[in-house]
Amino acid sequence: MGTTAVRAPRRILYAGALALAALALAAGTNTDPVQARGSEQVLSQLRVEGPRATLDPGTWYVTGSEAVRKSRGDRCRHRSGKFHLSGPSALGIAQTGSEFRSTLAPVRARNSAGGRFMCEIGGIVGRPGDHPDGFSGWLYWVDYVAGFAPADQTALTGDEQVLWVFADFGDRPRNSGRALELRGVPAADADGELTVEVVGHRFDGEEKPIEGVSISGVEGSTDIGNGLYEITADEGIRTIYAERGRHIRSNRFDLCYRPGGGECPTEHGRVIVGSSGADDLLATGGWDEVHLRRGADHVNITNGGRDVVDCGRGDDVVTIAADDADDELVDCEEVDEVT
């Protein structure tokens, strides 16, 4: 079928996207790129965008099997009991995150025709499809492709970027357009003048340059077309992200600019959160923040960077480079120095 010359109204586009999601949910088939069940636990990233604020800016969690509180019906009324999810999944990682960040708790799901449907994150519940103000609710993306299958059936194998978004398709749409992605931001810049890129991903992952965005965390930005922006960095370490209208807020980067001198990371770091089991974690070469939980954990931070490791409960071992004196270790039972 050829390309039509008439652009469909936005309401029709929203309805089409929702209908596609509903059909996939009812069929119970997984059309996402991540399908094979991973190992018992994996390390993947979770970002959560609420209706007005970011609930999780992008944390790396060790996630596996989880138990999620139950709700029932299209209006997601609370009920007793929990769903037990086997293996790492796009739904389970939200529960994992809620045990670390209070902004995500509680997480609740309900039964649907094909699997579990996310009802609630951080106490935020949407509207059913038959509501006079239109549908709103939680949708998910994996590596910038929208998830049309039940989230509990979308397995994680490690290193995925999972994005949960509260989308409103009513008269004042929010988070209902493309998922913005900010690219080309280094960990540090010498002169504070650089060019970055913003693209927008459609539900199927197709991307296009996005013009007219607002970039936060910088001193100034100029739209030079085709999704490219010349930015002037603000002094210090600033968190940068892009926004535009009903599109989903972009991923975030920390940019370090110190014109008067001072240390900056050589690559982007991560916030990493361990599980309640025994984890074996490898930090990046950036400035990482590692939170261990219960269990006999091991974390290796010899890749460099100014790292912070909070060992928490358990009998934990941290491996560090013998000449690395700028790390901060909190409540760590054993420190193993290597040359």
pLDDT for residue 129: 86
pLDDT for residue 54: 98
pLDDT along the chain (339 residues), means of 10: 35 44 39 38 98 97 98 94 97 98 98 90 94 94 96 96 96 94 97 97 97 98 98 97 97 96 94 95 97 93 95 92 92 92
Contacts of 301 (CB under 8 A, 6+ apart): 283, 288, 290, 307, 309, 318, 319, 320, 321, 324, 327
Class of domain 179-257 (CATH, top level): mainly beta
- Give residue for tokens 């760590």: 332
pLDDT for residue 107: 98
CATH of domain 10-168: 2.170.130.30
pLDDT for residue 213: 98
pLDDT for residue 3: 31
Distance from C-alpha of 113 to C-alpha of 94, rounded to nearest angstrom: 21
Instruction: Give 172's Cβ-side CA count (13 Å radius).
Output: 2
Q: Are 77 and 66 in contact (CB under 8 A)?
A: no
Q: Where are the domains of the chain?
A: 10-168, 179-257, 271-338
DSSP for residue 320: E
Q: Which long-range contacts (CB under 8 A, 24 or more apart) does 313-316 make?
A: 316/292
Please report, as a single letter, which amino acid is at residue 331.
D
pLDDT for residue 26: 41
Q: Are 338 and 319 in contact (CB under 8 A)?
A: yes
**Quick one: tokens of 91?**
């739904």
Distance from C-alpha of 65 to C-alpha of 296, rounded to nearest angstrom: 19
> Residue 229, Cβ neighbours under 10 Å: how many?
22
Q: Are 313 and 332 in contact (CB under 8 A)?
A: no
pLDDT for residue 312: 87
DSSP string of 66-92?
Answer: EEEEEEETTTTEEEEEEEEE-S-BTTH
pLDDT for residue 284: 96
Q: Classify the C-alpha dihedral 186-191-195-196 as positive or negative.
A: positive
pLDDT for residue 294: 86
pLDDT for residue 290: 98
Would you give the distance in Å from CA 326 to the centre of its chain?
29
Please report, as a single letter, which amino acid is at residue 88.
P
